[in-house]
């Protein structure tokens, strides 16, 4: 699973140089698919539930499950990319949100807080805690402290031989509630956080989830193993963030 998840991080990083104004999002999808296949793995999302692409690319008010298209990225776009791979029978799953060019400070802050909230959740993914502790940590940070809207309709999940396994990992919940976290459980933790209201709707394409108020949304995801004392993060943003440093068209976030 570590191999699958490291490959997801590298596939993201392979796409990063091409996240520039004017690129069609189908081009990003083609790059990711070629990279994954060149490394002896399969795209994890392609064909899953009929989804036709390697990447979910969700721009601005699109929250998740956006489809690559002829749309050309432009300055100021907030681009969430979610990628999965299947290698040696196991799935990897990780997402990152990018800012193309100059971006509104309040939107940059949304991305930073969403990413921080992912790590707040991961801190709780240890033996002895309960699932609700992860959910609460994310919700508390995003909603109570930063007054954003945490999406309720979509959740994180267990991951392994299937892309989506139990348990569901909501980004909202009560401290001390839910099942006890067991050593070795692998979870995809993935806060989806809106600048405005928490409510979302699905577009008529049957996939794309958008914010109800049209305000932007951010999404960061790691696949992690529950361990004693400290979770083991299987996926990585290291390759992504090194690639971002070399792409002058992208705004760096903390
Ligand atoms: Mg994902
Ligand atoms: Mg996921």
Q: Where are the domains of the chain?
A: 2-247
Distances, alpha carbon 206 to alpha carbons 65, 67, 83, in Å: 9, 10, 19
For ligand 1, the distance from its centroid to the CA atom of residue 244, given in whole angstroms, is 20
Write down the pLDDT at residue 234.
98
Q: How far apart are CA 24 and CA 146, in angstroms?
A: 33
Strands laid side by side in the 217-219 sheet: 149-150, 192-194, 217-219
pLDDT-based confidence at residue 20 (cuts at 50, 70, 90): very high
For ligand 1, the distance from its centroid to the CA atom of residue 12, given in whole angstroms, is 12
For ligand 1, the distance from its centroid to the CA atom of residue 48, given in whole angstroms, is 12
At 82-129, the pLDDT tens digits run 999 999 999 999 999 999 999 999 999 999 999 999 999 999 999 999
Burial of 45 (0-12, 13-18, 19+ CB in 10 A): buried
197 within 8 A of 213, measured Cβ to Cβ: yes
For ligand 2, the distance from its centroid to the CA atom of residue 155, given in whole angstroms, is 8
Write down the pLDDT at residue 99.
96
Q: Which ligand is nearest to the CA of 188?
A: 2
For ligand 2, the distance from its centroid to the CA atom of residue 228, given in whole angstroms, is 23
Torsional sign, CA 229, 231, 236, 241: negative
Q: How far apart are CA 61 and CA 55, in angstroms?
A: 17
Q: Which residues contact 223 (CB under 8 A, 6 or more apart)?
A: 1, 5, 8, 92, 93, 94, 159, 186, 187, 188, 189, 233, 234, 235
Q: Which ligand is nearest to the CA of 158?
A: 2
8-state DSSP, 28: H
pLDDT-based confidence at residue 144 (cuts at 50, 70, 90): very high
For ligand 1, the distance from its centroid to the CA atom of residue 82, given in whole angstroms, is 5
What's the rounded mean pLDDT across residues 59-83? 98
At 195-252, the pLDDT tens digits run 999 999 999 999 999 999 999 999 999 999 999 999 999 999 999 999 999 999 999 9
Q: How many CA atoms lie within 13 A of 130 on its CB side?
A: 9
For ligand 2, the distance from its centroid to the CA atom of residue 220, given in whole angstroms, is 10
For ligand 2, the distance from its centroid to the CA atom of residue 72, given in whole angstroms, is 25
The CATH class that applies to domain 2-247 reads alpha beta
Tell me the average pLDDT of the chain: 98
Three-class secondary structure of residue 240 per DSSP: helix
Q: Which ligand is nearest to the CA of 81?
A: 1
For ligand 1, the distance from its centroid to the CA atom of residue 153, given in whole angstroms, is 15
Q: Which ligand is nearest to the CA of 64?
A: 1
């Amino acid at each position: 699973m570590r191999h699958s998840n490291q490959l997801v991080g590298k596939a993201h990083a392979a796409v990063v140089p091409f996240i520039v104004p004017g690129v069609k999002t189908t081009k990003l999808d083609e790059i990711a698919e070629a990279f994954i296949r060149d490394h002896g793995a399969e795209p994890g999302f392609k064909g899953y539930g009929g989804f036709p692409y390697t990447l979910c690319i969700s721009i601005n008010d699109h929250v998740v499950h956006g489809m690559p298209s002829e749309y050309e990225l432009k300055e100021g776009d907030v681009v969430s990319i979610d990628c999965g791979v299947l290698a040696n029978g196991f799935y990897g799953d990780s997402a990152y949100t990018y800012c193309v060019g100059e971006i509104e400070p309040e939107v940059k802050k949304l991305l930073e807080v969403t990413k921080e909230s992912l790590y707040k959740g991961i801190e709780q993914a240890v033996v002895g805690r309960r699932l609700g502790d992860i959910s609460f940590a994310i919700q508390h940070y995003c909603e109570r402290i930063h007054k954003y809207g945490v999406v309720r309709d979509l959740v994180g999940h267990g991951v392994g031989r299937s892309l989506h396994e139990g348990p569901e990992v909501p980004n909202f919940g009560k401290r001390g509630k839910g099942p006890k976290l067991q050593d070795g459980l692998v979870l995809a933790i993935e806060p989806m956080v809106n600048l405005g209201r928490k409510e979302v709707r699905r577009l008529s394409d049957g996939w794309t989830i958008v914010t109800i108020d049209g305000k932007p949304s951010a999404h960061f995801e790691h696949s992690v193993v529950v361990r004693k004392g400290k979770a083991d993060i299987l996926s990585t943003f290291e390759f992504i963030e090194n690639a971002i440093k070399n792409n002058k068209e992208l705004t760096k976030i903390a």
